[in-house]
């Protein structure tokens, strides 16, 4: 697994927590996403140390940890702050579907990838779409990944016109 996929998965997990627990803050959701698999209490480890433990590379230095933590925070807050815009763009790509019918896991992955497609144009769109497909396979199934691929490809096609 790549470093960026790890960050995207953690962003998805934080967004999932926020979607299911309206009293949770963004910081709490990110902390939970970072720490729940480490078998440590959230109070025992800070986000920077947690990210050093979860990144799939050896010897993560402070700079790498800080950059990836900043990207994680930016993904989560960016999706939240731009949710209306992202949902409008996703809705335009749905055929005979409404956004309310999309399974929440798929919707969160779509929002996350759409955010990167619109607000991180420096990232190759094929990487963003492929990552979304792989994350969807991990949290759902192949059928769902085809749906996610189709919607995101529709966004990409519309952006390139």
CA 26, 30, 108, 151: dihedral to nearest 10 degrees? 110
pLDDT digits (tens, 9 = 90+) for 50-63: 999 999 999 889 99
CA–CA distance from 137 to each of 9, 51, 67, 106, 147 (Å)?
A: 12, 23, 27, 10, 11
Range of the domain at 65: 1-81
Question: What is the pLDDT of the chain when averaged over all its residues?
Answer: 92
Q: Are residues 73 and 89 in the same domain?
A: no
144 vs 42, higher pLDDT: 144
CATH number of the CATH domain containing 127: 1.10.940.10
Number of independent structural domains in the chain: 2
Query: Residue 161 pLDDT more than 70?
Result: no
Residues 10, 56, single domain; the answer is yes
Q: What percent of the chain is modeled with pLDDT above 90?
A: 80
Query: Which tops the pLDDT comparison, 76 or 22?
Result: 76
Threshold 0.85, pTM exceeds: yes
- Please write the tens of the pLDDT for every residue from 66-89: 999 999 999 999 999 999 999 999
Same domain (yes/no): 71, 131: no
Per-residue pLDDT, 42: 59
Same domain, 2 and 76: yes
Three-class SS of residue 122? coil
């Amino acid at each position: 697994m790549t470093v960026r996929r790890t960050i995207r998965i953690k962003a998805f997990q934080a967004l999932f927590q926020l979607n299911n627990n309206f009293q949770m803050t963004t910081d709490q959701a990110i902390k939970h996403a970072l720490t729940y698999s480490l078998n440590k209490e959230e109070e025992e480890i800070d986000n920077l140390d947690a990210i050093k433990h979860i990144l799939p590379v050896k010897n993560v230095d402070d700079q790498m940890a800080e950059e990836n933590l900043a990207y994680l925070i930016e993904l989560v807050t960016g999706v939240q702050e731009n949710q209306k815009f992202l949902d409008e763009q996703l809705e335009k790509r749905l055929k005979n579907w409404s956004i309310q019918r999309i399974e929440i896991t798929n919707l969160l992955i779509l929002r996350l990838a759409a955010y990167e497609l619109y607000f991180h144009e420096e990232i190759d769109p094929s990487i963003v779409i492929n990552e979304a497909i792989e994350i969807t396979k991990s949290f759902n199934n192949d059928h769902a990944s085809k749906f996610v691929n189709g919607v995101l490809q529709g966004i990409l096609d519309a952006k390139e016109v």
